[in-house]
């Protein structure tokens, strides 16, 4: 199986590569259009800032490549947010694969124990779709983020931190998760394995 991890100006790509190696997959980290298009599965992970990253994707033509892919594509963390319609981070229009918009967490007054970024383990609700097969609401996933996608028509899993938000999204061949499956232990490995089995 050919798996491509999209290379761009983002952190955290290496940890995804290591997670796939633990599943027996030697992925190729690449920004080459032909390699990406010829892959059986494409992963779009990342940690970074939305507006500068969108500018980079457009400069490299990766925005058009990602949107036109027909094989299964998995966005992770910043990847999920960039696959949405718009982000408050830099007030930027994103790829528009999902209709949901991305908002900044705002800490409620008097609740000082709620830290931003949201960092740590959360369970999920309302899981649906193939990448969440075999998981239950007792499964826990690791999050690190200050921005979140709202709950909408493409929500495939929800979580709650300050407000309900989309922990997973799905539309056609595009899948995404706000949490880091590569850092989420057995449950995260199940997500990746389910995706690779599509």
Active-site residue list:
77, 180, 182
Q: Where are the beta strands (DSSP E) in the chain?
A: 3-6, 28-30, 41-44, 73-76, 86-87, 92-93, 101-104, 118-123, 140-145, 147-149, 155-161, 163-171, 174-177
Rounded Cα gap, residues 159 and 151, in angstroms: 9
**Token pair belonging to 143:** 């999050």
Report the side by side order of strands in the sheet with 86-87. Answer: 92-93, 86-87, 101-104, 147-149
**Token pair belonging to 100:** 């949901």
Structure letter (DSSP) for residue 47: B
Question: Angle at Cα 155 formed by Cα 167 and Cα 105, nearest 5°?
Answer: 45
């Amino acid at each position: 199986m050919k798996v491509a991890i999209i290379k761009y100006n983002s952190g955290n790509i290496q940890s995804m590569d290591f997670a796939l190696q633990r599943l027996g997959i030697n992925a190729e980290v690449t920004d080459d259009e032909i390699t990406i298009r010829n892959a059986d599965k494409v992963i779009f992970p990342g940690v970074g800032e939305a507006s500068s990253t969108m500018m980079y994707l457009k400069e490299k033509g990766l925005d058009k490549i990602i949107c036109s892919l027909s094989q299964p594509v998995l966005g992770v963390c910043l990847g999920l947010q960039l696959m949405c319609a718009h982000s408050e981070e830099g007030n930027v229009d994103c790829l528009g694969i999902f209709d949901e918009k991305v908002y900044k967490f705002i800490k409620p007054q008097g609740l000082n124990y709620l830290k931003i970024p949201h960092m740590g383990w959360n369970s999920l609700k309302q899981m649906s779709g193939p990448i969440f097969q075999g998981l239950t609401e007792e499964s826990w996933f690791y999050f690190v983020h200050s921005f979140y996608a709202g709950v909408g028509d493409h929500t495939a899993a929800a979580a709650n931190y300050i407000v309900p938000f989309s922990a997973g999204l799905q539309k056609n061949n595009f899948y995404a998760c706000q949490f880091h499956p590569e850092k989420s232990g057995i449950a995260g490995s199940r997500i990746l394995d389910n995706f690779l089995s599509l």
